[in-house]
């Protein structure tokens, strides 16, 4: 039984009572089953049972994305402000986007989404329509400073998500 753990030794801490802040069924069930633990408003830790579930879902998503011809990449959580200023969303995102400065007083953001980053990556590498189409995806955490985090993971601050971005070839654009 190498690599197997006895259930009696597993770190699974269930709750008898549903915490009063849990509003929707999925949030109540995940808390009571010991899948997640609230650390602060809108911020949760995935406990071993919850993390194992995420890994299984990730594997299914990866298999399907691979079958569709998409390629996985991983992008940084901290992004330069210039990408957001260029897209015009630096001001639009408002206080929902967590902004920070490094030790040299340069502006950065804690990624609320990855569109700006992935677009910058692809844009810098495509010099011809012959490089298209490109189908990329990523599975990672993003952060949004929700005004009123609620519904557990559904409107939390740290969100674990998968996104696919497809850059097609349009013949009329290429002309």
**The domain spanning residue 78 has which CATH number?**
3.30.930.10
116 inside domain: yes
Total domains in the chain come to: 1
Q: Residue 86 — pLDDT band, cuts 50, 70, 90?
A: very high
The answer to the question of residue 39 being in a domain is: yes
Asked whether residue 132 is assigned to any structural domain, the reply reads yes
**Neighbouring-strand partners of residue 142:** 159
Task: Answer whether 148's CB lies under 8 Å from 23's CB.
Answer: no
Task: Please indicate, yes or no, if residue 1 is contained in any of the structural domains.
Answer: no
> Would the pLDDT of 2 be above 60?
no
Provide the domain limits for residue 82: 10-170
Whether residue 154 is predicted with pLDDT greater than 70 in this model: the reply is no
State the average pLDDT over residues 76-91: 92
Dist CA 50 CA 8 (whole Å)? 17
Measured CA to CA, the distance from residue 12 to residue 47 in angstroms comes to: 8
Where does the pLDDT of residue 151 fall: very low under 50, low under 70, confident under 90, or very high at 90 and above? low
Total residue count of the chain as it appears in this document: 175
Question: Per-residue pLDDT for 174 more than 80?
Answer: no
Residue 96 belongs to a domain:
yes
**pLDDT per position as a tens digit, 6-60:** 767 778 888 888 888 888 888 888 889 999 898 888 888 899 999 999 999 999 9
Residue 175 has pLDDT above 50, yes or no: no
pLDDT tens digit string along 100-142? 999 999 999 988 888 889 888 888 888 888 888 888 998 888 8
pLDDT at 161: 67
What pLDDT does 102 receive? 95
Does 5 map to a domain?
Answer: no
Q: What does the pLDDT read at residue 155?
A: 65
Has residue 127 been placed in a domain?
A: yes
Residue range 143-150: average pLDDT? 72
Residue 37 burial (10 A CB sphere; 0-12, 13-18, 19+)? middle
**Could you tell me if residue 126 is inside a domain?**
yes
Backbone angles phi, psi at 78, to 5 degrees: -95, 130
**Can you give the pTM of this predicted structure?**
0.77
């Amino acid at each position: 039984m190498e690599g197997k753990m006895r259930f009696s030794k597993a770190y699974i801490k269930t709750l008898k009572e549903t915490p009063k802040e849990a509003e929707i069924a999925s949030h109540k069930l995940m808390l009571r089953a010991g899948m997640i633990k609230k650390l602060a408003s809108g911020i949760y830790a995935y406990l071993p049972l919850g993390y194992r579930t995420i890994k299984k879902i990730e594997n299914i998503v990866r298999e399907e994305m691979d079958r569709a011809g998409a390629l996985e990449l991983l992008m940084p959580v901290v992004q330069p402000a210039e990408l957001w200023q260029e897209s015009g969303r630096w001001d639009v995102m408002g206080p929902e986007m967590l902004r920070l400065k490094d030790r040299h007083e340069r502006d950065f953001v804690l990624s609320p989404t990855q569109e700006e980053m992935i677009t910058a990556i692809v844009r810098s590498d495509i010099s011809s329509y012959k490089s298209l189409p490109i189908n990329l995806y990523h599975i990672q955490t993003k952060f949004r400073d929700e005004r009123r985090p609620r519904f557990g993971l559904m409107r939390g601050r740290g969100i674990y998500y998968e996104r696919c971005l497809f850059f097609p070839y349009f013949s009329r654009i290429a002309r």
